[in-house]
Structure 1
Amino acid sequence: MKKLIKNGTIVTASDTYTAEILIEDGRISQIGTNLSAQGAEIIDANGCLVIPGGIDPHTHLDMPFGGTVTKDDFETGTKAAAFGGTTTVIDFCLTTKGEPLKNAIQTWHAKSKEKAVIDYGFHLMIAEINENVLIELPYVINEEGITSFKVFMAYKNVFQADDDTLFRTLVSAKEHGALVMVHAENGDVIDYLTKKAIADGNKDPIYHALTRPPELEGEATGRAATLTGLANSQLYVVHVSCADAVEKIAEARSKGFNVWGETCPQYLVLDQSYLERPNFEGAKYVWSPPLREKWNQEVLWNALKSGQLQTLGSDQCSFDFKGQKDLGKDDFTKIPNGGPIIEDRLSILFSEGVKKGRISLNQFVDLTSTRAAKLFGLYPKKGTIAVGADADIVIFDPQVERVISAETHHMAVDYNAFEGMKVTGEPVSVLSRGDFVVRDKQFVGKPGSGQYLKRAKYNVNAPVNQNETLPI
């Protein structure tokens, strides 16, 4: 059925204007004034912003870790994402050394099949580089449409890859048109520091942060950026948490290196002191990189405003406080790393960013949707409001106030990392390819309606709009 959105203020990464949007066959067919509404359902967006559906480039749904599995799967996780204004997620597909990459991808297809309520794609973890992996990469890119690879520089003896693997992945990515992503922390030194902390009897959650100091994130970020420059390749640094890493990214970009950076809401509004909360409550805030001293927050906000960081991911990786996080009750190294973030990503950035004058409305759209669409081969099908684009649209009320709470969120997890935080602005209705997933704050979607997205190859020069190109 045709739909006509009227009376809203359209906001894209480059423009803010008033117009009507006609939706036909899941796509935007016209944008203008006094459009013909014959046979169309009228959607009144009066007083609201009309923005592209959010793209979350960093999620971990139904992921095994630390002897357990994340609480939110592709059904509950994407449902919560939709309530938060996200219409596309890109999830991390984990691989196992010695096994074909195809097996891992099939496993993730099985996890997501008939569950996702919004569209989704995969990143692929690269744990090793050998002839078998190199032979498979063209299939992964061209047939599966997976054009981004993640290399862990941390989690020694679990996920961590060595510098040879990282460098050869960068070289291969340059050859085949893929984007390399890194979890940038020095895993070898962290391993030493954590073992020493346990030996010294320091087992509380705060030591998770104290054994992963910001210097080790900065060092690994700089090392990855240097290797990227040497390979003349492209790099995306996930979940940047501190000034040390921002400095290394800015330095690399000033040299013309093709380096991009992502941060997450938790690093913008929470700080290291949360890990010191009594009665093991600090475990709720154990993820990697850890929360930092509060002064880092303003550095991150300034980096978003200046363009040194380009995207906002959630790093959604939820574990229940009771029954999962408490696996590390007597040893912080056994606390499953991760938090429930996916639902509140847009609201926090809007409330703390736009409402407080830290970023513009257009930057808000760029950070939550457009830039990720461009970097990960989804633009212009996703990430913008334009004729021909998928009708992934969020009707967003910029004035409504609410208090974030586990009692009202839609994630499957038993706590909310932002419990009690007051925010201004939230999605009212969310459409995925022209169909309502959330309507008037009520879920009307269907598990399995989300489609798997095969993504285009990395292209740094893909335009933001007809008259603009992305800066390097």
Structure 2
Amino acid sequence: MSDTLLIRGGTVVNADRETRADVLCVGGQIAAVGLDLDAPAGATVVDAGGQYVLPGGIDPHTHMQLPFMGTVTRDDFYSGTAAALAGGTTTILDFVIPDPKQPLMDAYRTWRGWAEKAASDYSFHVAITWWDESVHADMGTLVREEGVNSFKHFMAYKNAIMCDDETLVRSFRRALELGAMPTVHAENGELVFLLQQEMKAQGVLGPEGHPLSRPPAVEAEAAQRAIAIADVLNVPIYVVHVSCAESAEAIARARARGQRVFGEVLAGHLVVDDSVYRHPDFAFAAAHVMSPPFREKTHQEALWRGLQAGHLHTTATDHCTFCAQQKAAGLFDFSKIPNGTGGVEERLAVLWDAGVNTGRLTPSEFVAITSANAAKLFNLYPRKGLVAPGADADLVVWDPAASKTLSVATQHSLGDFNIFEGRTVTGAPSHTLSQGRVVFAQGDLRAERGAGRYLKRPPFGPQFTALGKKAALHAPTSVLR
């Protein structure tokens, strides 16, 4: 099979511009971008006439093969990344989540082993779920030797993986020393636990109790606390799955003060609202149980405006699939429903349809929030998130006229539910390229087990780790301003 491919006649879209150009890929990398490029002998030619050529999507928040709440997600690293490729996402950032007291390196090696079957490129954030000197040392090993430059902190899930403030402070400070980015799941776990008990004491046992026990104020408090800790320590911080106006506003306020705070939004939170939890069918309502929960519709506009204003930077899915049988563990107690939904395959189409087609986003802004910004924030740019010579040939030929109805019946994920079920979108990938190979073409998925590569992400430079407000004004170019 030839390792040379020419994408001809499309409009190349990067985060800063769009231009008519052909794209020549050789040996898994982009060799040239320009008009009227010649196809070398034996090259595969993809006709992109009337279509866009985009950098492959980067989903910075997935959970493949995750052991959680007494069960394991349906999608493993092969099925999950195959589904991602079908939707135009060519890189995922997944999470190593050690058990409390488990050495970080032990957990990391376990996840690396699970991920060897991945069909797309992948990398890892590592969660800090406890603290002692071994965690301090392992963070250094992960950054310096394994290419991990981000650490996750769960402020929720009391009596499981929740970080207390001491752990946050120690881990944030260590991340600063190492040039790594702390990330947080912002929900006040103590309040959630209390509200869950109160809901159940009042006889609220069904899925409708899930959003009632996790109101926006619970998320906003945790976001503000994490932002304040990061501000005192002068370390950048990344807030995952921002779901409500209050959290988005907290990030905007901090950024207006000059603090380096970055926000992530899930595709689901932009288009699905909390009415799903009041559906009379338990299986339907439980299928939407994730944390933070889906919110009232009024929060969606705040999230869109955050993306438009640049206060929120990336879009993800938190892809974490459990089937109806697994969700039924919480049939009589909503707090026992495994938290998680899918979406890694649908994210780009949903965001294009709800964002670009409505005028909320330009095509370049779409590229920024679906790939380029994540690549910059986690030090994968310009290898990823850019259509330019020298970048990896991870590309999507995007047909803006294609129409499809999203459904569990046609998805490639092994989950048995689709939170976007029945939604008709306009705009979809006609071809996906990973490492210069066509892995999806006009509905034909050609994902290859084990073809994905582990991506080492170097730490950020000395400007990142220098203490003091003056130093913070001179961040490395890899970190978004």
TM-score tier, shorter chain, comes to over 0.9
Is contact 1:374–1:462 with CA below 8 Å preserved after alignment?
no
> Deviations 1:367-420 (Å, cap 9, x if unpaired)?
000000011111111111011000000001111111110000110011111111
Given that 2:100 and 2:160 are in contact with CA atoms closer than 8 Å, whether structure 1 keeps it comes out as no
For residues 422 and 445 of structure 1, the distance between their equivalents in structure 2, rounded to whole angstroms, comes to 25
CA distance in 2, matches of 1:273, 1:441: 32
Q: Which amino acid aligns with 1:428?
A: S
Please point out which of 305, 310, 320 is paired with 1:307.
Answer: 310
Aligned to 1:21: 23
CA offset at residue 462 of structure 1? 4.8
**Residue 375 of structure 2 corresponds to residue 373 of structure 1:** yes
Distance across 2 between alignment mates of 1:279 and 1:390: 45
Q: 2:271 maps to what in 1?
A: 269
Aligned to 1:470: 480
1:57 deviates by 0.3
1:80 counterpart = 2:83: yes
Are 1:404 and 1:419, in contact at CA under 8 Å, matched by a contact in 2?
A: yes
Asked if structure 2 preserves the Cα contact closer than 8 Å seen for 1:397 and 1:428, the reply is yes
Aligned residue number for residue 107 of structure 1: 110
CA distance in 1, matches of 2:405, 2:460: 39
- Is 1:248 the counterpart of 2:250? The answer is yes
From 123, 130, 133, the equivalent of 2:132 is 130
**Alignment correspondent of 1:54:** 57
Aligned: 1:183 with 2:193: no
In 2: Cα distance, 1:204 partner to 1:98 partner: 33
Deviation at 1:463, TM superposition (A): 4.1
Corresponding residue for residue 218 of structure 1: 220
AA at the equivalent of 2:335? T
> What is residue 284 of structure 1 aligned with on the other side?
287
Correspondent of 1:233 among 232, 235, 251: 235
Q: Choose which of 420, 439, 456 in structure 1 pairs with 2:458.
A: 456
1:25-174 equivalences under 5 Å are 25-39=27-41, 40-113=43-116, 115-174=117-176
- Partner of 2:61, secondary structure, is strand
Aligned to 1:193: 195
State TM-score, norm by structure 2.
0.95
Partners of 2:431 and 2:149 in 1: how far apart?
31
- Where do 1:411-450 residues align within 5 Å? 411-450=413-452
Equivalent pair of 2:16/2:364 in contact (CA under 8 Å): yes
Q: Distance in 2 between matches of 1:444 and 1:152?
A: 36
Q: Is the 8 A contact 1:327 1:335 kept in 2?
A: yes
* C-alpha separation in 2, matches of 1:107 and 1:42: 40
User: Separation in 1 of the partners of 2:450 and 2:368?
Assistant: 28
Offset from partner CA, 1:235-257 (integer Å, 9 cap, x none): 10000000010011111111111
Residue aligned with 2:227, SS: helix
Distance 1:36 1:73 in 2: 40
Query: How far 1:357 moved relative to its partner?
Result: 0.4
> Is this contact kept in 1: 2:85–2:447, CA < 8 A?
no
Cα distance in structure 2, aligned partners of 1:418 and 1:458 = 37
Residue identity over aligned pairs, in percent, reads: 45
Which amino acid letter does the alignment assign opposite residue 251 of structure 1? Answer: R
Please show how residues 349-428 of structure 1 align to structure 2 within 5 Å. 349-428=351-430
Letter in 2 for 1:247: E
Q: Which letter does structure 2 place at the counterpart of 1:299?
A: A
Equivalent of 1:293 in 293, 296, 302 = 296
- Which residue does the alignment assign to 2:468? none
Cα distance in structure 2, aligned partners of 1:444 and 1:194: 44
How many residues are paired up?
Answer: 465
Q: Which amino acid in 1 is paired with 2:393?
A: A
2:8 maps to which residue?
Answer: 6
| In structure 2, C-alpha distance between the alignment counterparts of 1:34 and 1:359, rounded to whole Å | 29
The answer to whether the 8 Å contact 1:117/1:437 transfers is no
Does the aligned pair in 2 maintain the 1:392–1:430 contact within 8 Å? yes
Across the aligned residues of Structure 1 and Structure 2, the Cα RMSD in angstroms comes to 1.1
Task: Report if the CA contact (8 A) 1:347-1:425 is conserved.
Answer: yes
Q: Which runs of 5+ in 1 are unaligned?
A: none
Alpha-carbon deviation of 1:66?
1.2
CA distance in 2, matches of 1:66, 1:128: 18
Structure 2: distance between partners of 1:301 and 1:416: 22
What is the TM-score of this pair, normalised by structure 1? 0.97
CA contact (8 A) 1:83 1:410 kept: yes
**Structure 2 CA distance for aligned equivalents of residues 316 and 374 of structure 1:** 21
Q: How far does the alpha carbon of each residue in 1:234-290 deviate from its partner, in whole angstroms, 9 at most, with x for none? A: 110000000010011111111111110000011100111111001212111100001
Q: Which amino acid aligns with 1:88?
A: T
